[in-house]
Amino acid sequence: MNAAVRAVTGAQKAAQLIAAMSFAFAAHAGSRCAPADCAPGRASVARVEAVYADWLDAGSAVGTIDSGLTARVDGRGRSVWAARLRELTARLDAALATVDAAALAPRDASVLGAIRKGIRDSAPDVPAADAGHPAPGCADAARPGADLDTLQAALYACFEEIGNHIDFDGRPIVRTTALQELQQVADGERRKGLFLALSPLWLAVNGADTEDSPYRRMMRLNGVALQKSGASPIDDAAVTLGIAPPLVEQWLMRILEAWRAQSQGGPLEPWDYWYASAAASRELSPAISRASVLATSKRFFRDLGADLDRLGVRHDLDPRPGKAPLAYTEQIRIGRRVGNAWRPATARVSANYEQGGLFVLNELIHEDGHAVHYAAVRTRPAYFSLGDDLFFEAFADVPAWSSSEPQWQQKYLGSHAAEQSALRELFSNVMLDAAWSLFELRMLADPAADPNQVWTAITSRYLNIVPHPELSWWALRVQLVRWPGYMINYGLGSVVTADIRQRIRESIGSFDTGNPRWYPWLSAHLLRFGSSVDTAHLLQQFLGRAVSPDAILTQLRRAGSVQVPARQHLGQAAVEQSHRLIDVALVDHQRGHEADRALSAGQ
């Protein structure tokens, strides 16, 4: 999936699964449990885990049906699965209530903790919708008294109600198509018009950037919630990598500074950013039709030893009304032992593709990376997951980045772009993710900050983009409003992606044009563990050392120093606008010193 529009995966509770699960949690309190689970004494952890496995399967089936992919899973319709989910929710709740956690051995305590975490991760973010209480819509984001959950759900709805219906050239297009078209439209004024066609979405999210805008109210409420819970997406990312939290900001700034050093020419207007680095897409797009996208991804994974059809991966790639406004991957059923045999997980991929192109193909390969990850997990039900968010997002880009390599393009597309051109396009999108990561880090640190000013400071300094603090054009990613802090997994995840790709090449050789050892080797050494192994330890064992930004910095050097296209060709504003860069650059330079001072000696 293209880094500029990559969406959160189903493991992050895609909207359909939230809706499917919510009624069960609301209903379970009055349900009666099975006699076996209500028996006196302490329920065994094994019994709890068996019910939990069935519960995960039932919830996944309901979510799959509610997504619109199919009307039946394993021959059963929604009503049958919904009834089973209600029953299992009650049984699971009752079984958990009888466990004496204090009396458990460490291993059983770990299993119980993983089950409780899995239940929390699947819990609804908002109350169940019904006829009397409909789900929040985009308009609800403007209600002054809306609470955090309602605001986040309403802002998410804006990405479907508005983001899936961008008005351009007299026709509605989805947000993914709009961003890909910014790479393709040659006329500068028309490209600007397309960019500004996204403004209804920004206005719905952040209004006039006043303190009472929906996004700014949401971020203040989110800050209070994080403070109460003690949670921190930034700290979580640091734990995943096994680094001190201050290094998160330092690594992001180091990557962005390396990119800045290789970006020459005058400042770009934001509507020209995608076009300036997308020569490879424009060259190769004729070879990537909408009809060929899925077949190409399947062929590549088959050459990697991961046949998507044999793994049972299902795809739902056409836009339709009411469909989730983002690309994601979710399980249809979990991997588990049934009788004496192992039954692998199966997964589904959901996206909204109106056309082909390298942009879309990269995104689909990323999502199929999640799908093969699901199929590779081979652990007990308590630990069934893809692991930490940063880790599984980073892994999905391991195969996706191959689509920017000339050898891959020649084999799978029949022609290739120049290496620097292809890599420049890839990493311009990766750096945009890094910029969004830094944006989130700073907004989480100061939820009362002006998001337009924060974004302008970052993009003008590191991406050489003309400041437009009057535009909330940062509001292009649904993760920013639905799961604040999630973008850190993409920007910082590029460090892990580059490290994993380097380790694979060192261990089993090149894989950009296929390598049948790729999937079995990675399954055995990296993917099978679910959440049973601490991610920092897993990465240390896999890499043979601690995670380091060295590999991503090496890849950025491969992209080379490329002069941006001539100003007159891009239709940019006059060079006098460059003086607007000065103040915001100084602000970010000061933040760099602050990050350095926060580190102890030696870090």
Pairing of strands 314-316, 346-350: parallel
| Whether this model's pTM surpasses 0.75 | yes
pLDDT per 10-residue tile (average), the chain, 603 residues: 37 38 37 41 77 96 96 97 96 92 91 94 61 82 94 95 92 92 94 96 97 97 96 94 96 96 89 95 92 97 98 96 90 95 97 92 97 98 96 97 97 96 94 97 97 98 96 96 94 97 98 98 98 96 97 92 47 39 41 42 40
| pLDDT at 588 (0 to 100) | 46
Please work out, in degrees rounded to the nearest 5, the angle formed at the alpha carbon of residue 71 by the alpha carbons of 69 and 73: 90
* Alpha-carbon distances of 408 from 293, 297, 389, 402, rounded to whole Å: 14, 11, 27, 6
3-state secondary structure 205-263: HHCCCCCCCHHHHHHHHHHHHHHHHCCCHHHHHHHHHCCCCHHHHHHHHHHHHHHHHCE
Burial class (CB in 10 A: 0-12, 13-18, 19+), 419: middle
DSSP, res 44: P
| pLDDT at 92 (0 to 100) | 95
* Residue 119, C-beta contacts closer than 8 angstroms, at least 6 positions apart: 52, 92
Q: Where are the domains of the chain?
A: 10-122
Token digits of residue 545: 């050392």
Please work out, in degrees rounded to the nearest 5, the angle formed at the alpha carbon of residue 454 by the alpha carbons of 216 and 139: 25
| pLDDT at 125 (0 to 100) | 55
Instruction: Check if the beta carbon of residue 151 is closer than 8 Å to that of residue 215.
Output: no
Pairing of strands 341-343, 336-338: antiparallel
Considering just the CA atoms, what is the radius of gyration of the chain in Å? 24
Name residue 329's beta-bridge partners. Answer: 349
| pLDDT at 121 (0 to 100) | 85
Burial class (CB in 10 A: 0-12, 13-18, 19+), 588: buried
Token digits of residue 192: 């600007």
Instruction: Check if the beta carbon of residue 367 is closer than 8 Å to that of residue 296.
Output: no
Name the helix (H) or strand (E) containing 341.
strand 341-343
